[in-house]
């Protein structure tokens, strides 16, 4: 099976802090990690390879430093890393990003399955996975929590819903976005880490992919940010003092109107 996993390098959000004096983001010392949801996609790709044989190619679009995310993916079992990077991609929204990644996947060649995390932790849009599947004109299943079986180019999967899950059959090639429930990502072995250090990362630019310059970066993005601001902090709360039953009574009286 030829499996492609799309990942994104994101800031480790726990470390994003606002400077209260200037109301700006403090980015110094913010380290980058693989989007937590993508770690499940990587693990699932590696598990499928272990079951069915084949190859896992991991792709990311981002600045040159995103190479470290690819190496991390290789350290846990991916075979090959591709960095799609070009100044021309700056300002891409989800439309342009999915177009660009679809172009990179076409450039890889034949594939059976594309795996993505359900969304990225910094943007939270959940739009790029479905976008890629449209650009490549292949079926999608989102929020996959289990790949039950793959037989004769047909995958049977469980899609997580608000109420439970759907069982869906999808012919391959297809694109799945996966949720946390699907697996528990492994930790890199020493051998894996050695291998990832030596791995050659492939670099592709906009030209390498033969992309339409009108459909990438800022120009290919229908949406545009016009303002970024810090939301007013939550109005200061109050600490309630006293015996539990007194506090409870006070709260019940104050809030009963909200409940009915």
Partner 1 sequence: MSIQIIIEKCTGCSLCVKACPFGAIKIADKKAVIDLNKCNLCGACVPACKFKAILLEKPVRPSAKINVGDYKGIWVFAEQKQGKVQSVVFELLGKARELAKLLGTDVSAVLLGHNMDAEAAELIWRGADNVYLVDDRQLFNFQDDVYTNILVHLVQKHKPEIVLCGATTIGRSLISRVAVRINAGLTADCTGLDIDPQKKILLQTRPAFGGNIMATIITPNHRPQMATVRHKVMKEAAIDKHRKGKIINEDFKAEDLVSRTRLVDIVEEIESLVNLAEADIIVSGGRGMGGPENFKILEKLAQVLGGAVGASRAAVDSGWMPYSHQVGQTGKTVCPKIYIACGISGQIQHLVGMQSSKIIIAINKDPDAPIFKVATYGIVGDLFQVVPALTQKFHEALKK
Q: CB 72 → partner 1: shortest distance, Å?
A: 18
- The span of 48-56, 78-86, 152-160, 194-202 binding partner 1 (CB under 8 A) equals 152-160
Tell which positions 46-65 bind partner 1, by CB under 8 A. 63
Number of residues that bind partner 1 (CB under 8 A): 95
Number of C-beta neighbours around residue 193 at 10 A: 15
Tell which positions 97-116 bind partner 1, by CB under 8 A. 98-99
- The span of 69-77, 160-168, 185-193, 194-202 binding partner 1 (CB under 8 A) equals 160-168
Among 54, 127, 195, 208, binds partner 1 (CB under 8 A): 127
Number of C-beta neighbours around residue 165 at 10 A: 15
Among 55, 123, 186, 192, binds partner 1 (CB under 8 A): 123
Q: For the chain, how far is it from start to end, CA to CA, in angstroms?
A: 56
Among 20, 29, 109, 164, binds partner 1 (CB under 8 A): 164
Q: CB 191 → partner 1: shortest distance, Å?
A: 28
Residues contacting 3, CB < 8 A, separation 6+: 45, 48, 49, 54, 55, 56, 57, 111, 112, 113, 114, 115
Q: Return the DSSP state at 255.
A: H
Query: Is 23 near partner 1 (CB under 8 A)?
Result: yes
Query: What SS3 class is residue 93?
Result: coil
Among 108, 168, 193, 202, binds partner 1 (CB under 8 A): 168
Residues contacting 87, CB < 8 A, separation 6+: none
Task: Please state, in angstroms and rounded to a whole number, the distance separating the CA atoms of residues 94 and 48.
Answer: 28
- The span of 21-29, 42-50, 69-77, 108-116 binding partner 1 (CB under 8 A) equals 21-29
- The span of 44-52, 185-193, 196-204, 243-251 binding partner 1 (CB under 8 A) equals 243-251
**Between β-strands 9-11 and 32-34, what pairing exists: parallel, antiparallel or unpaired?**
antiparallel
CA distances in angstroms from 177 to 63, 181, 184, 205, 242, listed in the order given: 23, 12, 16, 25, 49
Query: Is 190 near partner 1 (CB under 8 A)?
Result: no
Among 112, 121, 192, 208, binds partner 1 (CB under 8 A): 121
Query: Is 152 near partner 1 (CB under 8 A)?
Result: no
Residue found under tokens 């991390």: 72
One character per residue 194-233, x = contact with partner 1 (rule: CB under 8 A): --------------------xx-xxxxxxxxxxxxxxx--
Residues contacting 230, CB < 8 A, separation 6+: 18, 23, 24
Query: Is 43 near partner 1 (CB under 8 A)?
Result: no
Query: Is 94 near partner 1 (CB under 8 A)?
Result: yes
């Amino acid at each position: 099976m030829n499996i492609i996993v799309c990942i994104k390098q994101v800031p480790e959000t726990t470390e994003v802090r606002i400077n209260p004096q200037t109301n700006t983001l403090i980015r110094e010392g913010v380290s980058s990690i693989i989007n937590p949801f993508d770690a499940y996609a990587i693990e699932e790709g590696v598990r499928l390879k272990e079951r069915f044989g084949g190859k896992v190619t991991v792709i990311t679009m981002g600045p040159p430093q995103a190479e470290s995310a690819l190496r991390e993916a290789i350290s846990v079992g991916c075979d090959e890393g591709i960095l799609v990077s070009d100044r021309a991609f700056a300002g891409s929204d989800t439309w342009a990003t999915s177009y660009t990644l679809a172009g990179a996947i076409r450039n890889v060649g034949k594939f059976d399955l594309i795996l993505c995390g359900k969304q990225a932790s910094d943007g939270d849009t959940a739009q790029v996975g479905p976008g890629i599947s449209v650009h490549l004109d292949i079926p999608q299943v989102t929020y996959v929590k289990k790949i039950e079986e793959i037989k004769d180019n047909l995958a049977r999967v469980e899609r997580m819903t608000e109420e439970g899950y759907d069982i869906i059959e999808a012919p391959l090639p297809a694109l799945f976005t996966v949720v946390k429930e699907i697996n528990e990502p492994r930790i890199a072995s020493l051998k894996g880490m050695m291998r990832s250090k030596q791995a050659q990362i492939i670099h592709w630019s906009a030209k390498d992919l033969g992309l339409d310059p009108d459909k990438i970066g800022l120009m290919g993005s229908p949406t545009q940010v016009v303002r970024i601001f810090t939301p007013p902090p939550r109005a200061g709360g109050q600490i309630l003092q006293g015996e539990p039953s007194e506090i409870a009574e006070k709260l019940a009286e104050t809030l009963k109107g909200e409940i009915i």
